[in-house]
Amino acid sequence: MKEKIYLIPGLMTDNRLWSRLIPLLEDDYELVHVPIPHSEDFDEIIDILFNLFKEEKINLLGFSLGGYIASYFAITYPNRVNRLFTVAATPGNSTEAEIERRKEKFVLIEKEGFAGLTYEKAKSLLEEKNQNDDELIKIIQDMFMDLGKETFISQLTSTFYRKDLFEDLTNLDIPIWFFYSINDRLLNKEAIKKLLLDTHNMNVISRVGTSHNIPLEEPELLSIHIRDWMKAKK
């Protein structure tokens, strides 16, 4: 029987986030997409997930906001998690500046309506070498539009209430891996510094580049790290 890995997506992403990654791993692992529950409360979100996961202990991977949710789940229910992998995510709290910028997005939506992502905006989210990949740009646009206004507001609001999970994660006795791009503009630089400077047993892996959407932009490299993570012992 194949080992199962649960995959939690990020802000305004769905199962299409994994469309280039799953073919690289499905021969050896059962990969299960888990949508982010519709709630602004992280405690409610992880309680919903607690009842959704049927196994006693799980392998949990999360991307971006899903990485934070996966980390929150692991520190709240440590007996349910075998191993944790976060992609393009940090365990840090949201800064006041980040919260204010996100609130401005709500004001804009109320004023102009929810219009999804333009082609140029979706393109700008990609690493330069991938900006001619029209299929990839369309996936990002389609996910955003299909998930819609209510999901956007709910998911973005939840980020206002992030607390710093770093110390709690260091106390877990499981393999914990972080994988991110060094020049990812969407990551909190102070949280990254903390991961790099502090002494801990967590495995922090970086790649040169700006990519945030690593599962779609760098699926081959991510798949290699996932295989290594699945073999890792604490």
Angle of the 42-52 helix axis to the 65-76 helix axis, nearest 10: 70
Q: How many domains does the chain have?
A: 2
Shared domain check, 168 and 87: yes
Buried-state track 74-89, b at ≥16 Cβ within 10 A, e below 16: bbbbbebbbbbbbbbb
C-alpha to C-alpha distance for 106 and 170, rounded to whole angstroms: 35
pLDDT value, residue 97: 86
Tens digit of pLDDT at every position of the chain (234 positions):
899 999 999 999 999 999 999 999 999 999 999 999 999 999 999 999 999 999 999 999 999 999 999 999 999 999 999 999 999 999 999 888 889 989 998 888 988 899 899 999 999 999 999 999 999 999 999 999 999 999 999 999 999 989 999 999 999 999 999 999 999 999 999 999 999 987 788 999 999 999 999 999 999 999 999 999 999 986
pLDDT value, residue 95: 86
pTM of the model: 0.96
Shared domain check, 218 and 177: yes
The tokens of 64 are what? 């971006």
Pick from 143, 159, 140: nearest CA to 102? 159
Domain stops at, among 112, 131, 155 = 155
Residue 134's domain comprises 96-155
pLDDT value, residue 172: 96
Shared domain check, 209 and 176: yes
C-alpha to C-alpha distance for 69 and 72, rounded to whole angstroms: 5
